[in-house]
Structure 1
Amino acid sequence: MASKNYQPVKRNRHSTVKIGDYLYMWGGHGSGVDYDVMDVYHLPTGAWDQKPTTGTPPSGTYAYSTVAIGKDIYYFGGYSGGYQNNVHSINVDSFKWRELSPSSDHGPMKKARCGMVSAHFDSEDYLVVIGGIGSSSINTADGRYNEIHYYRISSG
């Protein structure tokens, strides 16, 4: 467990999400970023902590998209030696990573810097992935894409 004086490493192209009284920060681009831990900030006390994770974290370690639903944080895409299009989640009670598999071969292209929001309709939770930059056989002049994909959490 980290000390009360713990400060996370400087980084960029990461995301931070809020669940309850905590901010959760993972990955990013920067010297000394440890991808096997989650940095956690307790809002009421202003204290940082570092939580070890288990499982296999996402391969897109920066410029990924993220959103929280309940006690789970979802990550899509990103970049690390190449563009990614995988979906992972981590539960903030267990700090265990889980890779989610789409049920269709028609998923989003490999990309980074896209938007992602959660949506709830017809009694189901969805991830909605919007736009981004990447490489694909669908060529645009600047590498930007406007595709939209829905991912149903319950069935993938």
Structure 2
Amino acid sequence: GYDGSYRSDFHSFNFVTSVWNQVATAGRVPRARYRASCVMHGQNMCLFGGHDGTRHLNDVHLFDMEEKVWQMLVTEGPLPIPRDSHVAVVHGQSMYIFGGSTGSAMNDFHELRLDTKKWSPV
């Protein structure tokens, strides 16, 4: 996120008590960024792209919600152009990325097969 500086902290919200709590995490924490996407796939939250204040990103990180561990996902295939402000959705074993910005609007569509870790344009 961004609050005047770029952040990589992680919080959870308790809907019963209406209280936010910081989550202690392990593993390789992703670079601080904003305008990234996060989607759920099984027990993993998938983080893609964003902007770190200097450049657009196209990396993928997984956060295991049970183990509280980050890992960078090494992928194959043609990577999407680095971007922020895109949309993402998971359907079946795939994460789909659409559009976004690199300073100008984008209109492309990509699929990442999460079971094979392979990108392909749609």
TM-score class, shorter-chain normalisation, is 0.7 to 0.9
Residues 40-79 of structure 1 correspond to what in structure 2 (within 5 A)? 40-59=12-31, 61-79=33-51
**Percent of aligned positions that are identical:** 22
SS in 2 for 1:40: strand
**Which one of the candidate residues 79, 82, 86 is aligned to 2:55?**
82
Q: Give how far 1:132 is off.
A: 0.6
How far off its partner does 1:153 sit?
Answer: 0.7
Show CA shifts across 1:55-82 (max 9, x none): 2222361110111122211111000021
CA contact (8 A) 1:60 1:78 kept: no
Residue 3 (structure 2) pairs with residue 39 (structure 1): no
Paired AA for residue 128 in structure 1: Y
Q: Which TM-score applies when normalising by structure 1?
A: 0.68
Whole-Å Cα distance in 1 between the matches of residues 6 and 22 of structure 2? Answer: 12
**2:58 aligned partner, one-letter code:** N
CA-based RMSD: 1.7
Shift of 1:47: 2.2
Which structure has more strand as a fraction of its residues? 2
The whole-number CA distance in structure 1 between the counterparts of 2:69 and 2:62 is 8
The alignment of Structure 1 onto Structure 2 pairs a total of residues equal to 116
Q: Which has the larger radius of gyration?
A: 1
TM-score (norm 2): 0.86
SS at 2:57's partner residue?
A: coil
Distance 1:149 1:60, change over 3 A: farther
Determine whether 1:103 maps to 2:64. no
How far is the alpha carbon of 1:42 from its aligned partner? 1.1
Any gaps of 5 or more consecutive residues in structure 2? 118-122
**1:89–1:98 contact (8 Å) kept in structure 2:** yes
